[in-house]
Structure 1
Amino acid sequence: MDTILTLQDVSWKRDGRNILSGIDWKMKKGEHWGILGLNGSGKTSILNIVLGYHFPSEGSVTVLDHRFGESYLPDLRKEIGFVSSSLNRFSHIIEYESIEEIIVSGKFASFGIYEEVAKADWDKADDLIERFRLEKLKGKPYHQLSQGERRRVLIARSLMNDPKLLILDEPCTGLDILSREQVLALTKEIDRNNCSIIYVTHHIEELVEDITHVLLLNDGKIVAAGPKEKVLKDDLLSEAFQLPVSVHWKEKRPWLSVAQHAEVNS
């Protein structure tokens, strides 16, 4: 499989209003994409289409060789890992579970363990704990972890099923700068898992070196899509963010500055 996903001329409407319009996007194996844009730009809607929770109003979608309209989409979701700050809504279910139990539950795509776990699965969870440098947290219940530690545990959990695609939906929301950098550093471990990444964010500084491509959105349309260095340009970012900005690079990582006297439309 050389192509991870293809969205061709995709539009999606809700309550008669265009949320996405004319989306053409192809993601190939070996690429890691960032999706960047303001609130309401269409980022979440694209994720919901990729995950099969929304069908496009127009256009065609193929994800991991599953063509929408011809495939059983619950099978597709088993091949996709998903991590988001929205998963905090399950915290009450797992607050007293250890990190080992939480990570191994990813094998069954459940929060909580409701069936027998094979020794090989516990061994795999231990390997992920080591790779993600979580050894000091072994045996700790979830409610005692910091927000950054919780996010790292959930990312490790998402890899238990060896997904072909991992979606990280604003995984650094609510984290302090140290916790954010610890989470961003995990992209190298994810890449080692032979897993493609979609990383959704508002903040270009989170598009670390391992993110190779960017899909830049504004008002449900693509402003630009392609290699990171070609998309993260002053004019394109200014169009997407609706105010004059400039980008500078440091150690292969982009940073954004707003023009000193930029006029902000309310």
Structure 2
Amino acid sequence: MIEIDRIDVLRNKKYILKDVSWTVKSGEHWCIIGLNGSGKTTLLNVVNGYVYPYKGGVKILGKEFGKTNLQELRKEIGLVSSSIKHEFQRNESVLGVVLSGKFASIGLYEAVEKKDVETAQKLLEFLNCLHLENEDYGVLSQGEKQRVLIARALMAEPKILVLDEPCNGLDIIAREELLKFIEKIAKLEDGPTLIYVTHYIEEVLPCFTHSLLLKQGTVFAKGKSSDLLNEDTLSTFFDRRISVQIEQNRKWLALI
């Protein structure tokens, strides 16, 4: 699904990513974890073809950068991020926002077919938002907006779904509701590979089989989440003594 081989990314002669290698196989769901400035967003931009590495190789869905049409490739990658959330007009309908995902556009400018509307409605129903289809996007709560944007990202049936800090700004109830829907997506038989980006270990659901720990633009550790998310590894990763508690198959951190 993703093959990144020893890439460097520079900005103003400063390394944003340094010697990063990362492989995601079909059937795996990954979390990317790191503090601010660790390079998480830059790595996502590489995966989406918005940032081209200074050095190293990238293959996404078997297509090698430099030998493929990145605009076409992006249609196979769903993206939910805070930057997209603020792009839509407040008075745009929820159904219109979801339908725009078919064309990877901000706003709906092309004709849609009846089957497209039916698909959008099914996705809204899956995410418990069908009752909002005729509402203005701008009046939704933050949690509702995130679910609508996930429905939009699924509209084109992507092979990879990137969720860039989707719980940012949500209260605990909205966060837990959103995480339940993300777990539902992970269990879909023909669903996409999930790449979930977060600062918070407690958001690493049991469905996320693997984790990538980024620190100051380099790979600190990568592998099975069950092997990495322990007190010793995380204490070294965060440069603080960490206590890890397990509740409902999720890990919760406290500073000692």
- Using the size of structure 2 for normalisation, the TM-score is 0.96
1:102 alignment partner AA: V
| Alignment equivalent of 2:144, drawn from 142, 149, 154 | 149
CA deviation map 1:6-25 (0-9, x unaligned): 11111111111111111111
Who is 1:165 aligned against? Answer: 160
Residues 1:89 and 2:121 are matched in the alignment: no
- Whole-Å separation in 2 of the counterparts to 1:146 and 1:189: 21
The C-alpha deviation readout for 1:18-62, integer Å capped at 9, x for no partner, is 111111111001111000010011111111111111111111111
How far apart in 2 are the matches of 1:138 and 1:32?
29
Contact 1:6-1:27 at 8 Å conserved across structures: yes
Question: Shift of residue 240 of structure 1?
Answer: 2.2
Runs of 4+ displaced beyond 3 Å: none
Matches within 5 A, 1:103-142: 103-142=98-137
Residue in 2 aligned with 1:184?
179
* Structure 1 residue 205 corresponds to structure 2 residue 205: no
Does the Cα contact within 8 Å between 1:83 and 1:167 map onto a contact in 2? Answer: yes
Q: Does 1:54 align with 2:51?
A: yes
Q: Provide the secondary structure at the position in 1 that maps to 2:151.
A: helix
- Distance between the aligned counterparts of 2:14 and 2:144, measured in 1? 39
Give the match for residue 224 of structure 1.
221
Q: Look up the equivalent residue of 2:105 and give its one-letter code.
A: S
2:212 to 201, 212, 215: 215
CA distance in 1, matches of 2:185, 2:133: 21
Post-superposition shift, 1:235?
Answer: 2.3
Distance 1:196 1:251 in 2: 23
Give the counterpart letter for 1:197 in structure 2. L
**Counterpart of 1:90 in 2: which secondary structure?**
coil
Per the TM alignment, residue 246 of structure 1 is displaced from its structure 2 partner at its CA by 2.3
By how many angstroms is 1:144 displaced?
1.4
Query: Does structure 1 conserve the Cα–Cα contact (< 8 Å) formed by 2:183 and 2:205?
Result: no
* 1:236 alignment partner in structure 2: 233
Matched-pair contact (CA < 8 Å) for 1:38–1:240: no
Give, as a single letter, the amino acid of the residue that structure 1 aligns with 2:5: Q
Give the residue type in structure 2 aligned to 1:144: V
- Matches of 1:102 and 1:201, distance apart in 2: 25
The answer (yes or no) to whether the contact 1:148–1:179 under 8 Å persists in 2 is: yes
Match of 1:253 in 2: 250
Name the count of aligned residue pairs. 254
Unpaired segments ≥5 residues, structure 1: 260-266
Aligned residue number for residue 33 of structure 1: 30
Deviations 1:45-94 (A, max 9, x none): 11111111111111111111110111111111110000012223313x2x
Checking the alignment, whether the CA contact within 8 Å between 1:152 and 1:183 is kept in structure 2 is: yes
> Distance between the aligned counterparts of 2:85 and 2:96, measured in 1?
17
SS across alignment from 1:108: coil
Q: Residues 81 and 166 of structure 1 are in contact (CA less than 8 Å); yes or no, is this contact kept in structure 2?
A: yes
How far apart in 1 are the matches of 2:159 and 2:133? 27
What secondary structure sits across from 1:114 in the alignment? coil
| Identity between Structure 1 and Structure 2 (%) | 45
Q: Separation in 2 of the partners of 1:113 and 1:164?
A: 22
For 2:158, what is the secondary structure of its paired residue? coil
Q: Which amino acid aligns with 1:235?
A: D
What is the TM-score with the length of structure 1 in the denominator? 0.92
Indicate if the aligned counterparts of 2:235 and 2:241 stay in contact, CA closer than 8 A.
Answer: yes
- Indicate which of 82, 92, 95 corresponds to 1:100: 95
Deviations 1:177-206 (A, max 9, x none): 111111111123322152001000000111
Q: Does 1:44 align with 2:50?
A: no
